[in-house]
Chain A
Amino acid sequence: MSEHIVSSYEGQLKTLHSTVLKMGALCESQFSNSIIALVKKDEELIDKIIGKDERIDELEKKVDDQVVNLITLRQPMAIDLRETVSAMRIAAELERIGDLAKNIVKRVKYIKVDLNNEDFSLIKTASELVQNNLKKTLDSYSKKDEQLALSVWNSDKEIDVIINKLLEDFLSNLKKTLDSYSKKDEQLALSVWNSDKEIDVIINKLLEDFLSNMKKEKKNIESLTHLLFVAKNIERIGDHSTNICEYVYFLIKGEEIKGNRPKG
């Protein structure tokens, strides 16, 4: 892509892009820290996460201001318009991810069960999948890689067929998703969008496990109820990540992803 004749316009678009990426990086670390804090019940980390949420809100405000400025002063067209509009929508999704991460750590004090126990390994698995997903999504936004995209797209189809390899393939798949955001790689974004259903499957399995655990151990009801919300939050973060993939795809291709969103 050649540069704008007016370099300050070019600069404004680049600043916008990097503000969104900065926000994305912060949300990514808020989420992964929230899971660490959850498992370790680390109060210091919890306070830190809650404190940092304000910074995410500030960044979202900054993105909104930059977008309004661009529309007012530059009247962006075509790719620039899509870049501008997508930034605002992606920022809104990221802000929700930040809120959900904060909500996860707010529940920690009510959760008395040991999350290192094998019974709860799926929480970690799901959060890792979603973290990977988010990372690739953000990657796809900053770079462009058509070939990588294509390979991800193809590997995703096999995942559906080979149930035994489900988990391994997930992991690699989700990794690629987050890549797609920072790489501006729409095919990668597309594959993540598809892989979100795998996360849904795991979350559903989690819910079943929790319910049967509750029936056995009544004293765990409070802990497990909160843990259910944690699981639900993780699943929601996966959904927001998938939404971002849709915007990345739109930003690059100028059209919506075709078909219905895959559901587990």
Chain B
Amino acid sequence: MKNQKIKISTKNLNVFYGAKQALFDVNLELEEKKVTALIGPSGCGKSTYIRCLNRMNDVIDICKVEGSIKIDGQEINKKDVDVNLLREKVGMVFQKPNPFPKSIYDNIAYGPRIHGLADNKDDLDRIVESSLKKAALWDEVKDRLNQPGTGLSGGQQQRLCIARTISINPEVILMDEPCSALDPIATAKIEELIDELKKTYTIVIVTHSMSQAARVSQNTGFFHLGKILEFNLTEKIFKNPDNKLTQDYITGRFG
């Protein structure tokens, strides 16, 4: 674990929603091109944590984020950081698929267009195709690219959102319970996709499914009441965790 390159590191990260503190001195180092799963009971701070990594908490007025967040050694938790550039680098996929009310093609093309990643229509076509292929959706939608993205099934919509995230060449993909609204087959496809995507991207996934965390991730962090109680190899966490609370949580003894 020590020899791996660290993509994201947070030091003494404290987050407040008004007077209520949501995260307490979270120190984590997330490895590059690995999948890190964050688990823990509802309200433990895992979503708050990943929302810090692309400054999504900025949009919440009462939210205050203190401490250091470094990506590739660069501090991102300071005023002069260009949040748009940051979010280009750190993409996000949400719990419910949220395609734009546009065609499948435009869902993918939107990001590259506004970020100026394509010089012409051919370029854009190429980006759309490769993004959909990477998201394992191309074969299912290639003949109906002009139809609305919202007409796809839930699982397809979620892969469309992943394709949309990939289209602007991010380095990190944050996933906040990406499968919780999906059926088992769609879930399996997303998990297969995560395995594939980790070759290129650093992935952080929040999940309430213990078995999903065990299946897709290499490292797992257990959050409880805003603190990180255990961070370890996934295999270690699910076979023989060091912390008693971790064990109680993953075995279904408290929630």
Contacts and interface: CB of A to CB of B under 8 A. Distances in A.
A78 B238 contact: yes
Given A254-B240, A255-B240, A77 B253 contact: no
Contact of B211 (A75, A82, A255): A75
Given A75-B211, A77-B210, A78-B247, A5 B241 contact: no
Contacts of B247: 78-79
A5 B240 contact: no
Which of the listed residues B214, B241, B253, B255 has the most CB atoms from chain A within 10 Å of its own CB? B253
Contacts of B210: 75, 77
Interface string A102-140: 000000000000000000000000000000000000000
A216 interface: no
Contacts of B240: 78, 82, 253-255
B252 A9 contact: yes
Interface string B224-244: 000000000000001111000
Q: Which DSSP category, helix, strand, loop or mixed, fits chain A's interface?
A: loop
A3 B238 contact: no
Contacts of A76: 251
Contacts of A81: 238-239
Contacts of A79: 247, 251
A174 B85 CA distance: 69
Nearest to B245: A2
Nearest to B210: A77
Nearest to B236: A254
Contacts of A80: 251
Contact of B254 (A5, A82, A254, A255): A5
A178 B214 CA distance: 36
Interface string A1-30: 111111001000000000000000000000
B253 A254 contact: no
A57 B46 CA distance: 49
B248 A77 contact: no
B253 A5 contact: yes
A77 B239 CA distance: 7
A2 B248 contact: yes
Contacts of B239: 78, 81-82, 254
Interface in A75-111: 75-82
B250 A78 contact: yes
A6 to B, nearest CB: 6
A76 B253 CA distance: 12
Contacts of B211: 75
Interface string B61-87: 000000000000000000000000000
Interface of A: 1-6, 9, 75-82, 253-255
Given A4-B253, A5-B255, A76-B251, 13 more contacts: A1-B253, A2-B253, A4-B252, A5-B252, A5-B254, A6-B252, A9-B252, A75-B210, A77-B210, A78-B239, A79-B251, A81-B238, A254-B239
The 8 A-B pairs of least Cβ separation, nearest first, read A254-B240, A77-B250, A2-B253, A80-B251, A78-B247, A77-B251, A4-B252, A77-B238
28 contacts: A1-B253, A2-B248, A2-B253, A2-B254, A3-B253, A4-B252, A5-B252, A5-B254, A5-B255, A6-B252, A9-B252, A75-B210, A75-B211, A77-B210, A77-B238, A77-B250, A77-B251, A78-B238, A78-B239, A78-B250, A78-B251, A79-B251, A80-B251, A81-B239, A82-B240, A253-B240, A254-B239, A254-B240
